[in-house]
Chains A and B, each alone.
Chain A
Amino acid sequence: MTESLTERAFDHFEEAINALREATSLTKADKANKLVSQIDQIAHSEEGIQYLYKKSPVLVKLGVFDNTAWAEPEKLVPQLVNGTLKAGTPHSSFEILSELRMLSIALGDSKHKAMSKKDAATFLEEVLVHNLEFVFESLNEETRSAMSALEQKKVFGLFKYLLSKSDLQGIKDKLAEEITLICEQRPIVTSKAREIIKLVKEKIELDTSKETDAKLAFYIDAIYHPSEAVRKHGTQEKYNSYLQSANDQELAIESDSLGKAMRSSGLVSSFHAILLEHLSEQNLDEHLPKALGLNDTGKAEFVKHKKEIKKLIHYIVHPDNAQCVYGLSRMLEKGLFSRQAVRAGLDNIKRIRLHSEVEKNIIKSIAHPGENISALQYLIGALIRVLGQPLGVGQGNNPTCQSARGISMWSQHAPAKLINMVITAATLNNLSFRFEGKEIEADKLGHGLVKQMDFSLDAVSVVLVPLLDKIYNEMMKLAAGREDDPHKWVNPAMYGQWIQIGFASVYNYLLNAIQDYEGFIKILYASCHPDYNGHHRLVYPNPVGIFITSSRGDMIGFHAVSLLRVRKDNEGVMRAYFLNPNNEGRQDWGQDIKPAVMGNGEKPGESSLPFNQFASRIYAFHYNTLQATDHLNEVPKEIVKEVKKLAQDSWGRSYTWNEIPRQW
């Protein structure tokens, strides 16, 4: 917003306040609605929210809430705020004003006869707890599809303001849970976790004798003082000079502490980069495996490729690019350096020249780009992270689950192909794919699904996703109108030969209905569920299309995930483990279906659900047509009925159902 625009908007708002003041009860509601219609223009800037806060007492006095659901603050329910914020303008605008009124009461800037300072503060605390997705600006799929970018900005602005005005003591438990849920997934992009941790460090007094506080302190330490020496020396310079004079035993302690802190939290402290640089440059090689927190496989790999690895450390590890150390450590344990193609690719990428647009985007994606580090170094750092943590890839706030799923899959099963793709995309800002004999070049295509990319992603995604998104979209166009889901043809072309050619979908385009759902579920169980597929394990990720449903079970939209594994958890429940590129740990799909990200045998980055619950949300998957029918009759009828009921009572309500059997 330009200066003059803000001023004009405020002028217009003042005029609206005057109109409200002059209105009699006959037209008050109209005037209030017009005034509230201006909030869209004001609320999305920090200055605007502050302004609205200052104006809230007079607006309340003039009757802006008269005859609305917000008329009596003492009757409002904090649990309902989230739904109202998602309901779009004007509801969200009224809701924002209502929270600002509450804050004004809580801070003693205004008084209300039926609401004490404390009541208001408690209300706001509850609101924060139930709206962490807004507090941390990490939206789940339901919210993302419900809210426009503008609506998101408005609401984010509100929570930023609320947060800056509250002491957070009452939401410590939730914050600890939130950080744990994020970090246990080992995301590639750690900025969200770091933001929360920073917030806690700056705003909350901790008493480490309490469990929650100790948990929060653990994460703060992982970033800010992963060892006693770091705590003692405080700054990077002082820590560096300490390392210069440290003896072997002290270095061993540092390596051990920092390595452990990193491996147990998934977070890398900037001091860690200083330590690695020191060890590597001084050829103190014996400490490096410890400092990387390596297991035996990793250690062996390190010894074997020491020279290359040290070169890589020298090239990319830097306090401003420290998070790649965790990726490097995971990459070593996966033995990726023993693949000649990977080594060659990593060597090649160091010598490329970035396309200017790509360079700009990478720098844009880094919150605080360091001066001594180039866009290429950031890119290679991110590449190491993607290779080391394939399940940590996320889509950020973009509707690009497809592309994220692809990057994750290539990282797992075709790392060298992924490196090459990054090299092409980074140098030419272009990519080319083949679709049914036809070459598709990203450069020659218009928009993909994303109109405005949110660049808070890892640099590999920053480089690849805009191109992949266009290509994916083009393939979908080419495959449209074939009377079946275009994904049937697009998925194998997009992701590669790991995808099975067979494709099952619940939806029949000709009938415009869900057809033979029972048959569909039988095929699913007979191909993926070990009890009914001849005890086979899944080998490659299966790109699965799911219905996203709200916490009430209502159909919201479609989403792409990858089914990775199906096996029994420790409780003996058969679970589906899958990659959900939205890195969301707080999902509620209704009917008590809540995907978990930890505690049920999930590997970091996996989500999981009991298999039947997962099955009830699937609308399409790939399978081997030659084998699937072998076990069809082994799938028990009760299971099929159970899954069908879950489906029919949720997303199924939005469709017509047709029971005519289908040839699978």
Chain B
Amino acid sequence: MAQCFALMGWSLPVIESMQKLNKPFVVVSFPDFESYARDNNIPFVSYQFDEWSDTSNAIDLAEKLKPFNADVAVPLFEETVEWAGALNSIYRNDPRVLNRAFLFRNKTMMKRKALIGGLRVGLFEEVHSKEQVKSFMKRLNEANLQLEGEDDSWVHIKPFASAGTVGHRLLRSMSDIDEKVQDSDFPCLAESHLSGREFSCEAFVHGGKIKFLNITEYVKLGYSNFIPEGHYLNSKRELIHKHMQKLVDIFGIEYGMIHPEWFLTENDELSFGEVACRIPGGHILELSGKAWGYDALAAFVLCHDPNLSEDELKSILPDDSQKPENHYGNVMIYPHKKQFSKLEIPEELTEEPYFVDHTLVPPLSTQKISDDREGFGNHFGTINFKGEDPDRMTELLKHYENVDFYV
């Protein structure tokens, strides 16, 4: 049993879960949160994560955490993955734990590892300039036996170390490269477009084995997903589980939760997209917790503890052989108009039996959206649905993605 969890990053829901579990923890985050933590009796160590120097490093942080007896570090956000890896390397006396953390933070390295291990990945390369992206696309076109006048092969570029969709650009043609790519994007990963149905998995791993596998069906990347998966993906659960365990084995993951994205073709071929080991976006753990009836955030934290007993593990994770009755889904809402002044809930939503609640916030006054969005930009909240039929759920999520809530 861990003496104390060091939660790397500030998250009120995680803190609440830990309080309810009555497990010892300390939050490590930026100084901004210190006064709130003090006012609310939250054990807290302030640390400047974005500084790395002789005086700001994992050894120093480990010292600061000593009074709390911290012995397990848990990365809550993408940016704290290396910090947690470094601390756990110290706690477990195993330098490779840190190297594994680097694996999650460099998308090219991650792909290489997957490829070596025998997973199917797209063609990829590290690129340093627009010219290199063009050459990459050209070689891809050649490999795809492009004829004169045919469309170019699609290429994605992604920063090595950003979460989810941040900085991700889809390039459909040579001219896209000129128009959409900025010099500041480099260096980055370029990869061929993977076809197939995209979904994510959340595997809770302990002792190198998957103890619970959540499959999240993506209706539209960056917009909507639901849990548990619909009929089709569910029929492939065994196949997916096999690939997931393979990924865990290849990466040598022993404790924690991984959140990879996969593409499944009609021929039952799975391609590996990328993998993260922090709390996934899109409120996935919230949906998973509701659908399967467990405290997913607590489970996320506890799985990082090598000393967690089998019984404790069982009590905190759901049994994935019993499929839940209801699917829980959400769609993130982005304003469609450039300028809008109010939040308006369409009447059809209130007549929808699957509708549960939403977190949409009204705009401040007349608000304008700037053109330079990061990832998909900031969404204005999510709408939550709950219902028995995954097909109806898919329909609803698709529909509401395009409804104007901000007018």
Mark A residues whose CB is within 8 Å of B: 1, 4-5, 8-9, 12, 15-16, 23-27, 30, 33-35, 37-38, 40-41, 44, 87-91, 148-151
B356 touches A38 (CB 8 A): yes
A41 touches B40 (CB 8 A): no
B149, CB-defined interface residue at 8 Å? no
B19, CB-defined interface residue at 8 Å? yes
For B19, give its contact among A24, A35, A151 (CB under 8 Å): A24
Interface-centre pick from B20, B344, B357, B360 (highest chain A CB count, 10 A): B357
A34 touches B351 (CB 8 A): no
Complex formed: what's the CA distance from A150 to B343 in Å? 12
A23 touches B342 (CB 8 A): no
B357 touches A26 (CB 8 A): no
Complex formed: what's the CA distance from A459 to B350 in Å? 31
Output the least CB separation between B33 and chain A (Å).
12
Query: Can you add 13 more A-B contacts, CB < 8 Å, to A12-B386, A26-B19, A27-B12?
Result: A12-B355, A23-B16, A25-B40, A26-B12, A26-B16, A27-B16, A35-B357, A37-B357, A37-B358, A37-B359, A38-B357, A41-B355, A89-B343
Output the least CB separation between A43 and chain B (Å).
9
Q: A88-B342, A91-B362 are in contact. Are A12 and B40 (CB under 8 A)?
A: no
Output the least CB separation between B10 and chain A (Å).
11
Output the least CB separation between A441 and chain B (Å).
31
Complex formed: what's the CA distance from A88 to B347 in Å? 13
Output the least CB separation between B371 and chain A (Å).
21
B16 touches A24 (CB 8 A): yes
Q: List 5 A-B contacts (CB under 8 A).
A: A12-B357, A27-B16, A41-B355, A88-B344, A89-B344
Output the least CB separation between A34 and chain B (Å).
4
Q: Which residues of A contact B356 (CB under 8 A)?
A: 12, 15, 38
Q: Is the interface of B mostly helix, strand, loop or mixed?
A: mixed
Residue in B closest to A4 when the chains form the complex, CB atoms = B353
Q: Which residues of B contact A91 (CB under 8 A)?
A: 362
B313, CB-defined interface residue at 8 Å? no
A-B contact count (CB 8 A): 68
**Lowest 6 CB-CB distances: which A-B pairs, in order?**
A41-B350, A34-B357, A26-B12, A37-B357, A37-B358, A150-B347
**CB proximity to A under 8 Å, residues B68-85:** none
Q: Which residues of A contact B13 (CB under 8 A)?
A: 26-27
Output the least CB separation between B403 and chain A (Å).
13
Residue in B closest to A29 when the chains form the complex, CB atoms = B12
Output the least CB separation between B231 and chain A (Å).
23
Q: Which residues of A contact B16 (CB under 8 A)?
A: 23-24, 26-27
Q: Which residues of A contact B345 (CB under 8 A)?
A: 40, 89, 148, 150
B350 touches A40 (CB 8 A): yes
**CB proximity to A under 8 Å, residues B331-373:** 342-347, 349-351, 353, 355-360, 362
B15 touches A26 (CB 8 A): yes
Residue in B closest to A148 when the chains form the complex, CB atoms = B344
Q: A25-B40, A26-B15, A88-B343 are in contact. Are A8 and B353 (CB under 8 A)?
A: yes
Complex formed: what's the CA distance from A8 to B40 in Å? 36
Output the least CB separation between A311 and chain B (Å).
46
Output the least CB separation between A93 and chain B (Å).
10
B346 touches A89 (CB 8 A): no
Residue in A closest to B354 when the chains form the complex, CB atoms = A8
B353 touches A5 (CB 8 A): yes
Complex formed: what's the CA distance from A24 to B15 in Å? 10
For A37, give its contact among B347, B353, B360 (CB under 8 Å): B360
B359 touches A34 (CB 8 A): yes
Q: Which residues of B contact A90 (CB under 8 A)?
A: 362
Complex formed: what's the CA distance from A88 to B362 in Å? 8
**CB proximity to A under 8 Å, residues B14-48:** 15-16, 19-20, 40
Residue in A closest to B342 when the chains form the complex, CB atoms = A88
Output the least CB separation between A593 and chain B (Å).
24
Complex formed: what's the CA distance from A44 to B351 in Å? 11
Q: Which residues of B contact A27 (CB under 8 A)?
A: 12-13, 16
A16 touches B357 (CB 8 A): yes
Complex formed: what's the CA distance from A88 to B364 in Å? 12
Complex formed: what's the CA distance from A40 to B358 in Å? 10
Q: Which residues of B contact A15 (CB under 8 A)?
A: 356
Residue in B closest to A2 when the chains form the complex, CB atoms = B353
Complex formed: what's the CA distance from A320 to B230 in Å? 57
For A1, give its contact among B19, B344, B351 (CB under 8 Å): B351
Complex formed: what's the CA distance from A44 to B20 in Å? 37
Q: Which residues of B contact A12 (CB under 8 A)?
A: 355-357, 386
Complex formed: what's the CA distance from A27 to B16 in Å? 8
